Amino acid sequence: MTITVLNHPLAAHYLTHLRDKTTKPANFRLLTKRLTVLLAIEATRSLEIHLREIETPMEAIESPILWDPLVAVPILRAGLGMLDPIVEFFPDVSVGYIGLERDHETAVASSYYAKLPPQMHERTVLILDPMLATGGSACSAIATVKAAGAGRVLMLCIVAAPEGAAQIHAQHPDVAIFTAGLDRELNAAKYILPGLGDFGDRLYGTEGV
């Protein structure tokens, strides 16, 4: 299984504060962005580069520039919390959106929206969703971007359950997963343990609404 868990004290520190139930939405959003930066740096390590001729004030050199045109696809709604830093660090990125919602009783995700950029063909696609629980939402999103012609697909999440990672591996063994934390298990309601609760609710302050 291709899963990379961030192995960095700063990521671990941010994740601890994100998990803490006393963390309020404003700080939760900030921590989400910071963790996404660390995930993006790790996930894009193997992006294609090309050499460009430039002149420094001292001499002419050939120097690397990013070449892979990226597509980012946040899964609504929680994945939106990860989009800002991706757009900031990769200003040429194209963005698509996939709306999926888990049924509260069955935990099965159903689709309510999809809008992908026309230029998906052979592009590297970053799927953004902070929680990988059963893997139902992620697998559905991966199937959607592949059907639209995506090339390499990378899954960026903040917390992953072993069950979700195994599900992606079973359905899409070519997809590499990047996560800040690989947790213990799912509970009976298919929430991640120890996890951090409902990500979307904590991001948008809708707990108990």
By CB under 6 A, residue 28 contacts ligand URA: no
- Please choose, from the candidates 194, 142, 201, 204, the residue with its C-alpha nearest in 3D space to the C-alpha of residue 170: 142
Partner whose binding site includes residue 125, from ligand PRP, ligand URA, none (CB under 5 to 8 Å by kind)? none
- Which residue in the list 19, 29, 77, 201 is annotated as catalytic? 201
Amino acid at 44: T
Q: 108, 100 in Cβ contact below 8 A?
A: no
From the CB of 11, what's the least distance to ligand PRP, in Å? 19
Q: Is 174 a catalytic residue?
A: no
Look at residues 153, 148, 147, 144 and name the one whose alpha carbon lies nearest to residue 174: 153
User: In this chain, which of 35, 131, 156, 165 binds ligand URA, going by CB under 6 A?
Assistant: 131
Please, what is the minimum distance in Å from the beta carbon of residue 139 to ligand PRP? Answer: 8
Is 102 a residue of the active site?
yes
Name the 3-class secondary structure at 159. Answer: strand
* Region near ligand URA per CB under 6 A, out of 34-42, 58-66, 90-98, 192-200: 192-200
Which of 112, 130, 118, 128 shows the shortest CA–CA distance to 94? 118
With CB under 6 A as the contact rule, the residue among 3, 18, 75, 159 that binds ligand PRP is 75
- Site for ligand PRP contains 133 (CB under 6 A): yes
156 binding ligand PRP? (CB under 6 A): no
Among 37, 93, 95, 107, binds ligand PRP (CB under 6 A): 107
123 within 8 A of 70, measured Cβ to Cβ: yes
How far CA 173 is from CA of 5, 139, 165, in Å, comes to 17, 11, 10
Residue 124 tokens, joined: 């590297």
What stretches of 32-77 adopt beta strand conformation (E)?
49-55, 60-66, 70-76
Residues 134-173 binding ligand URA (CB under 6 A) are none
Contacts of 208 (CB under 8 A, 6+ apart): 201
* Contact with ligand PRP (CB under 6 A) among 6, 39, 102, 144: 102
Active site residue 106: yes
Binding site for ligand URA (CB under 6 A): 131, 133, 191-192, 195, 198-200
Q: What are the residue numbers of the active site?
A: 102, 106, 198, 201
Binding site for ligand PRP (CB under 6 A): 75, 77-78, 100-102, 107, 109, 129-138, 164, 190, 199-200
